[in-house]
């Protein structure tokens, strides 16, 4: 019976397990945490299955639950890690940042054309790999801001950061991401 | 004409592609012309466009990766689900 019903929980692990794991891993950058999030998602899904109305495919319904699990993990993990108040002080104290809102040094130009790369299907695998390699601490802010689109104010509240600290973290995340993309993407 | 700091603030608080066109156009012009912050903010916009592209491909489920749940994790999850249902 279960095999014939694509929405039956018995089929979830095989059908959606890897997709959901991939979704969680790029946001958490921690294998064990991503596995736990997938497990908790399935368990919450079983509990809430009566409320599933079929208006969206079950995969996206489960993904919606997973989003909450990811944010819950980030919240808990952030509470356990003390924020370094001196983070990025040298950037924030620079005259250029105070006057123009940018760091002292101009970033070097791209080693490839990003517009062209974004049109290549293979590029997204590299992009995924590089986002997954962001350090966990900076990755949290990056996930909430760039992948989940949270407002700055809310992120600062959740992660106990000032807007300037958040700006520095995102700046560093982009710098790291750029270096990784340039090292791993070859223009075709 | 908007100032560099306004561009910085807008890009720190919003994803470029989600801004309404009447906010995007003056920013676009500023970024193209400004010798002070143009290069920096162009790269911020490039990243945000890249992330949008990634999210679209993720939504469509066509980001090919080699990452999978381990057999051990699958076993553990299957067991937990069995106990729950």
pLDDT at A108: 92
Same domain, A95 and A74: no
Inter-CA distances, A92 with A59, A165, A178, B69, Å = 43, 8, 21, 41
The pTM (predicted TM-score) of the whole model is: 0.87
Measured between CA atoms, the residue of chain A closest to residue B62 is A121
pLDDT at A93: 82
> What's the pLDDT band for A83 if we cut at 50, 70, 90?
low
**pLDDT higher than threshold 90 for residue B79:** yes
pLDDT at A95: 83
Which range (A58-67, A80-89, A124-133) has the least confidence?
Answer: A80-89
Q: Name the residue with tokens 């002080």.
A: A89
State how many domains chain A has: 2
In this structure, what CATH number is given to the domain that contains residue A168?
1.10.10.10
Same domain, A33 and A102: no
> What's the pLDDT band for A124 if we cut at 50, 70, 90?
very high
Same domain, A59 and A100: no
pLDDT at A104: 83
Domain boundary among A50, A80, A110: A80
Same domain, A93 and A32: no
List CB contacts (< 8 A) between B7 and chain A: 101
Indicate the residue of B36, B55, B80 with minimum beta-carbon distance to A100: B36
Same domain, A16 and A100: no
Q: pLDDT tens digit string along A24-44?
A: 999 999 999 999 999 999 999
Residue B32 belongs to domain spanning: 4-84
Residue A63 belongs to domain spanning: 2-80
Q: pLDDT tens digit string along A156-171?
A: 998 888 899 899 999 9
Domain boundary among A80, A102, A135: A80
Same domain, A99 and A180: yes
Which residue has better confidence, A89 or B41?
Answer: B41
d(Cα B50, Cα B33) in Å, to the nearest integer? 22
Inter-CA distances, B24 with A103, A148, B21, B36, Å = 22, 21, 5, 19
Q: Name the residue with tokens 């908007």.
A: B2
CA A37 and chain centroid, separation: 14
List CB contacts (< 8 A) between B64 and chain A: 121-122, 124-125
Domain boundary among A42, A62, A80: A80
State how many domains chain B has: 1
pLDDT at B63: 82
pLDDT at A1: 47
Same domain, A105 and A27: no
In this structure, what CATH number is given to the domain that contains residue A36?
1.10.1740.10
Q: pLDDT tens digit string along A3-24?
A: 556 678 889 999 999 999 999 9
Q: What is the ipTM of this complex?
A: 0.87
pLDDT at A80: 67
Same domain, A15 and A74: yes
Angle at A71 between CA A57 and CA B10, to 5 degrees: 100
């Amino acid at each position: 019976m279960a095999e014939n019903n694509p929405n039956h929980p018995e089929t979830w692990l095989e059908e959606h397990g890897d997709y959901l794991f991939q979704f969680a891993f790029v946001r958490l950058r921690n294998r064990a945490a991503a596995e736990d999030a997938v497990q908790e998602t399935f368990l919450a899904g079983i509990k809430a299955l009566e409320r599933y109305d079929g208006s969206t495919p079950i995969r996206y319904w489960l993904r919606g639950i997973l989003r909450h699990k990811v944010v819950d993990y980030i919240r808990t993990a952030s509470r356990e890690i003390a924020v370094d108040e001196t983070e990025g002080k040298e950037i924030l104290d620079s005259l250029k940042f105070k006057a123009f809102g940018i760091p002292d040094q101009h970033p070097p130009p791209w080693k490839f054309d990003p517009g062209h790369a974004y049109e290549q299907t293979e590029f997204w695998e590299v992009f995924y790999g590089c986002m997954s390699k962001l350090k966990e601490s900076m990755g949290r802010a990056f996930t909430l801001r760039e992948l989940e689109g949270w407002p700055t104010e809310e992120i600062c509240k959740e992660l106990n950061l000032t807007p300037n600290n958040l700006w520095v973290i995102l700046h560093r995340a982009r710098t790291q991401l750029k270096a990784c993309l340039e090292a791993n993407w070859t223009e075709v | 004409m908007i100032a560099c700091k306004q561009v910085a603030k807008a890009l720190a608080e919003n994803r470029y592609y989600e801004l309404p066109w009447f906010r995007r156009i003056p920013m676009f012009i500023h970024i193209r012309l400004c010798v002070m912050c143009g290069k920096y903010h162009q790269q911020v916009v490039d990243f945000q466009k890249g992330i949008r592209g990634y999210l679209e491909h993720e939504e469509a489920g066509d980001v090919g990766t080699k990452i999978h749940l381990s057999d051990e994790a699958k076993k553990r999850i299957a067991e937990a689900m069995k106990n729950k249902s």
